[in-house]
Each structure stands twice: as structure tokens, then as C-alpha cells.
Amino acid sequence: MEAYTDFAGVYDTFMDETPYEEWCENIVRELRRNGIADGLVCELGCGTGSITELLAARGYDMIGIDYAQDMLNAAYEKRERSGLDILYLNQDMKAFELYGTVRAIVSVCDSINYLLTDEEIHACFQLVNNYLDPEGIFFFDFNTRYKYETVIGDTVIAENREDCSFIWENYFDSEEDINEYDLTIFVRKENGLFARSQETHYQRGYTLAQMKAFLAAAGLVFIRAYDADTLGEVTAESERIYCVSRK
């Protein structure tokens, strides 16, 4: 089953403890450090629009791009409630099209890990380069190979809420660096019964050295990287890494 269909309906429920505000503060701090305090910003893999909404509220003119229409439907509902002027596009990050250039492109919550081959990530990064203003900033995070292989690979994660629950089974292929997770979702319907659905997601683990090479191949200039959890230096045990680059 295609990823982020039924899961989209309960995604925000299970992500309710995600520190989106902290992530947004870090993005804004990074953009301002590079001279971008306003203007047009595009978010790749925007999902249900949580970060997009926060950045729009901070004064950025936001474009949100996501391949999963069901996730965007949730983003539309948030936009209707907030009244923020956000443009959402149902596009693949490997082949997205903008109407012009933007001051910055951001991508968080491991959206980049859904690019599974060198060719896919190169296509995405080339488009990033194409649509950035001169000296524009590309800020993104990614889950490391270490995280998939050592921390969550071949484990089962489960969470139970009053009206929904999930079982998340991980399988890591060390030869391909691909993490497969089979997601079983249970959602209470109006009749009080639970409906069961399943999705399979695939993400590829990367190293910082690989990311630097991909950025260089796409003509982007690497600025710096740091641990997304500690905001300190990248180590061999960093699970998620922030990368900053420019056109």
C-alpha cells in the first residue's frame, strides 16, 4: 500500500510530542544567520504542514511540496484554520517545479531519506540548485545509516492511544542501506469499531560524507553540518544530522 494514505489521518496524533517549535526556531536562526529574514521559502516533504505553518507565521512566504495528497489534505485544513497564505503543491521532490526561484529551500523530519538511490537524491539536489536564488540556502536533515542499522533496525515500535494505535516493524538491509518499516494502523470509527490498515515505507540511511558528495555533484556549496539532537558536532553516533549548504 502507498505510504502516507491511512496513516495521514492519524499522523498528527502520533506526532503530537514532536518539537516542531524548536525545529522552526533552529531553521529561522539558520536562515537569519545567512541573511534570510523574510522572502520566499519552499519546504520539501512538508507533510501535514506543521513546520510550513510555523515558518509562515514567522513572516516567510511559504510554498509546501509533498507527494502524499492525504498529507496535504491535512495541511489544507490547517491553512483554513490559520488563514495563513501558503501555497501547497502536490509534487514529487525528485521532479518538483516552482514558478520561479526562492531564497531558501528547507526539508526536515527525514524527508530526504525517502530518496532511495543516488540518482533520486541527485535529481532532487539539482532541482534545489536550479530553484535557489543566488546565494540561496538549502537547509535539511537526514537520518544516518548508524540510526537505521544500530538504533531502530530490526526492532518493533508500538504506540496505543484511545482512538488509534500502530505497530511499526523495522527491517534494515545493510547491503542496500534501506530501512523497510511495515506499519499497521488501527483507527476507531464512528461505530466504535477499529479499522485496520497497513502501509510499507522505505528510507535509505546516509552518511555525512555521502551528503557532502551529493551536494558537490549538484553544484551546491556545503557550509556546515551538526547533530540535530544536540546541536553540537557530528559524531559517529549521530542519529540525525542537519546540513546547511548554499547555491
Which 3-state string (H, E, C) describes 158-205? Answer: EEECCCEEEEEEEEEECCCCEEEEEEEEEEECCCCCEEEEEEEEEEEC
Residues 6+ apart with CB under 8 A from 156: 167, 168, 169, 170
Question: Which residue in this structure is represented by grid cell 526561484?
Answer: 101
Q: Does residue 139 belong to any structural domain of this protein?
A: yes
pLDDT of residue 33: 95
Long-range contacts of 148-153 (CB under 8 A, 24+ apart): 148/172, 148/177, 148/179, 148/203, 148/205, 149/174, 149/205, 151/239, 152/179, 153/179
Bridge partner list, 245 = 138, 222
HSE-CB of 231 using CA atoms within 13 angstroms: 7
Q: Does residue 1 belong to any structural domain of this protein?
A: no
What CATH number does residue 90 fall under?
3.40.50.150
Is 137 found in the same domain as 17?
Answer: yes
Is 217 found in the same domain as 102?
Answer: yes
Is 92 found in the same domain as 122?
Answer: yes
pLDDT of residue 66: 96
**C-alpha cell belonging to residue 237:** 553516533
Residue ranges making up the domain that contains 100: 6-144+206-246
Is 36 found in the same domain as 84?
Answer: yes
Is 84 found in the same domain as 16?
Answer: yes
Is 168 found in the same domain as 68?
Answer: no
pLDDT of residue 88: 98
pLDDT of residue 1: 46
pLDDT of residue 187: 87
Is 173 found in the same domain as 153?
Answer: yes
Instruction: Extract the residue ranges of the chain whose pLDDT is less than 70.
Output: 1-3, 5
Please name which of 136, 119, 148, 130 lies closest in space to residue 214, comparing C-alpha atoms. Answer: 119
pLDDT of residue 3: 65
Domain count of the chain? 2
pLDDT of residue 2: 59
